[in-house]
A and B are shown apart, each in its own frame.
Chain A
Amino acid sequence: MRKERKFLYGIFNHPDDILNAAYALRSTRNEILDCFTPFAVHGLDRAMNVKRSRLGIVAFLMGLTGFLTAVSLQYYTNVFDWPMNIGGKPAALAVPTFVPVCFELTVLCTAYGMGITFFLRARILHGVRETVFETRQSDDQFIMCFDMDKPTLNIDEVTGLMKKNGALEVKQVEMMAGVK
């Protein structure tokens, strides 16, 4: 499945430079494959037209699952299977005392459901090869990467625009990578 792909990438050393380059490239037909930065450069995702992540919806659904699990668990054990006799009161869903466990299980399922989905969706899992163009991309270099197999990519235009916006270097590389 995984095969060698050709990439063109520019190296920047300032977050503003890569941000400007991304905006400059927006008006051209060249699509940025991805950018690799040592920290979250705010605005870069918008400049690249990255869609807002839907992990929030996942979190909500997982939370709902946790809540329903807690309600059914408490109802089944303390009301249905073995009704708790407290001073002869009728066995019913004792709402106030069931709240804490409902809350805790909601939080637990939200966190882990969303966390695991994040790992799957971001394709960061043990065993997945990391896409490291430059080892300093996690230190002080900001990488902007293009897919050279895309026919619409105008290499000269892209190189020129990146250089104009402060790219230190523009390189081409052939490698196996789990990008996008």
Chain B
Amino acid sequence: MYESPIREPLVNGGRTYHDITEDICRPIENKPTTAWKVGFTISVIFACIGVFSIARTSFIGIGVWGVNKTVGWAWDITNFVWWFGIGHAGTLISAILLLFRQKWRTGVNRSAEAMTIFAVVCAGLFPIFHMGRVWLAYFVLPLPNAFGSLWVNFNSPLLWDVFAISTYFSVSLLFWYIGLIPDIATVRDRAKGTAKRIYGIFAVGWNGSTRNWARYELVCLILAGISTPLVLSVHTIVSMDFATSVVPGWHTTIFPPYFVAGAIFSGFGMVLTLLLVARKVMNYENYITIGHIEAMCKIIMLTGSMVGLAYITEFFVAWYSGVEYEQYAFLNRATGPYWWAYWSMMTCNVIAPQVFWSKWARTTPWFVFFLAAVVNVGMWFERFVIIVTSLHRDYLPSSWRDYSPTITEIGIYSGTFGIFFTLYFLFSKFLPVIAISEVKAVMPYPEKHELKETVDAH
């Protein structure tokens, strides 16, 4: 179905359909490996640190954070935007690449979508617990005035965020689950006893009927069609949280495209980090090939260059605007007390990805792994620079304050790593990490004979 003399095959190693089922179901059916147990335990420990730090914040209050009157948004919103951006690569792979008929996405879409969902879970914790009195978090919903508060304000980007993030999470979850159904059915048909019953419940009676496949493909196409503008809108709205304010350094119209490019950039960094480990540990080198890695590196290079262009444009516009506050904000970023954050960001995001022009860099797994980590660090610094350096010296020099995180904030951030990897380890143990049915549809297989009739145009 997918053969071309000039394209490299998407599945290597001469696998048959049955081999694919065996390879991908093996981790689910076998006992967990030592590596899995160790990794899972470490993740759970970190998740516990996170839960403890979050509990401390909720019981005592936001005072346990390093935020102050001037720097009201700091680590929490930095981490929120960072995790949220990471999520975007999953939707890009599953939706946008589906619309562009990029068949290589089939090897990586399942785990990338899982990453999206887990990253959004981590991201969501930050704004929720930044509310302080988290038990009143439902006040962000449009509740009647008689309920105790006024109606929510639909003119505020913060409220748009509530709608955007919850929609993004729900739709990604649905898209992921519908994609999983045929593969859960495969696991069900191979399992016995209790496992068969549990997988049977989640496979909801899927039998691979042609009528259902036709519906399934249409549903996936429409979900991809609506997820594409959704993923762009979500980070656009996140950027508007900043762009609609009057803070120098935030108040720019370049933010939406700049944030979306940055989100995809960091997301692919995280996808590569996860998949390079997974393909090695779970022996998926035949499915997540060097070709896949190379394609993702090219996207990193493209989006990294877009982000670099945005940095330079921001600087130019700050000068060109003639607004002295704006000019100072940018000069202060590069040479002020947080110069190290700014230059870390520049090095990691603008200079580092340029090495992907070299084919060696794109096709050497250990090097790609290293660079993906650099990209993730760089994108964290980008959000830190935008948030903290823009806020810490505002209009009134008398209220200038510096910011440094407390142990509780560091605990929450490490905790989200724990939560993320705990979920990811559970996913890799209990669900097929690669989309079995989609990989089978794009794998190279020997043409037995010519089709007797060509498919007539519908």
Contacts and interface: CB of A to CB of B under 8 A. Distances in A.
Given A55-B215, A125-B204, A77 B151 contact: yes
Interface string B407-430: 000000000000000000000000
A79 B161 CA distance: 21
B174 interface: yes
Interface in A14-50: 14-17, 19-20, 23-24, 34-48, 50
A135 interface: yes
Contact of B218 (A19, A56, A73, A111): A56
A124 B174 contact: no
Given A53-B214, A111-B171, A100 B152 contact: no
A150 interface: no
Given A39-B440, A100-B233, A139-B189, 8 more contacts: A19-B451, A40-B216, A100-B160, A105-B163, A111-B223, A121-B215, A124-B181, A136-B189
Interface stretch (A1-9, A81-89, A152-160, A167-175): A81-89
Contacts of A65: none
Contacts of A112: 170, 174
Contacts of B157: 100
A124 B233 CA distance: 32
A179 to B, nearest CB: 7
A178 interface: yes
Contact of B150 (A23, A46, A82, A135): A82
Interface in B174-219: 174-175, 178, 181-182, 185-186, 188-190, 200-201, 203-219
A132 B189 contact: yes
B186 A104 contact: no
Contact of B155 (A24, A78, A105): A78
Contacts of B230: 104, 107
Interface of A: 14-17, 19-20, 23-24, 34-48, 50, 52-53, 55-56, 59, 63, 73-74, 77-78, 81-82, 84, 86, 94, 97-98, 100-101, 103-105, 107-108, 110-112, 114-115, 118-119, 121-132, 135-140, 166, 178-180
A18 to B, nearest CB: 9
Ranked nearest first, the 6 interchain pairs of A and B with the lowest CB-CB distance are: A140-B17, A128-B205, A77-B151, A43-B455, A100-B160, A40-B213
Given A39-B438, A105-B163, A130 B215 contact: no
A20 B451 contact: yes
A92 to B, nearest CB: 12
Given A105-B167, A140-B21, A55 B218 contact: yes
B164 interface: yes
A122 B448 contact: no
Interface residues of B, number: 74
14 contacts: A16-B451, A23-B452, A37-B208, A45-B213, A53-B215, A55-B222, A78-B151, A100-B233, A104-B233, A105-B163, A111-B175, A118-B216, A136-B189, A140-B16
Contacts of A137: 189, 207-208
A108 B205 CA distance: 25
B357 to A, nearest CB: 37
Contacts of B200: 130
Contacts of A86: 155
Contact of B210 (A50, A59, A82): A50
Given A78-B151, A128-B205, A138-B189, A37 B213 contact: yes
Interface string B295-313: 0000000000000000000
Contacts of A125: 204-205
Contacts of B155: 78, 84, 86, 94, 97
B237 interface: yes
Given A97-B154, A125-B205, A139 B18 contact: yes
A59 B163 contact: no
A48 B154 contact: no
A25 to B, nearest CB: 12
Main secondary structure of the interface of B (DSSP, over half): helix
Given A16-B448, A101-B163, A115 B226 contact: no
B70 to A, nearest CB: 27
Contacts of A34: 209-211
B448 A17 contact: yes
Given A74-B154, A77-B151, A98-B154, A140 B18 contact: yes
B160 A101 contact: yes
Contacts of B152: 77
Contacts of B213: 37, 39-41, 44-45
A129 B142 CA distance: 41
B178, B207, B438, B453: residue with the most chain A Cβ atoms closer than 10 Å: B207
Given A97-B154, A98-B154, A111-B170, A38 B440 contact: yes
A24 B453 CA distance: 9
Contacts of A123: 205
A5 to B, nearest CB: 15
B145 interface: yes
Contacts of B18: 136, 139-140
Given A40-B441, A46-B458, A138-B182, A107 B208 contact: no
Contacts of B207: 36, 130-132, 137-138
Contact of A115 (B167, B178, B201): B178
Interface in B242-275: none
Given A84-B153, A125-B204, A46 B455 contact: yes
B218 A48 contact: no
B456 interface: yes
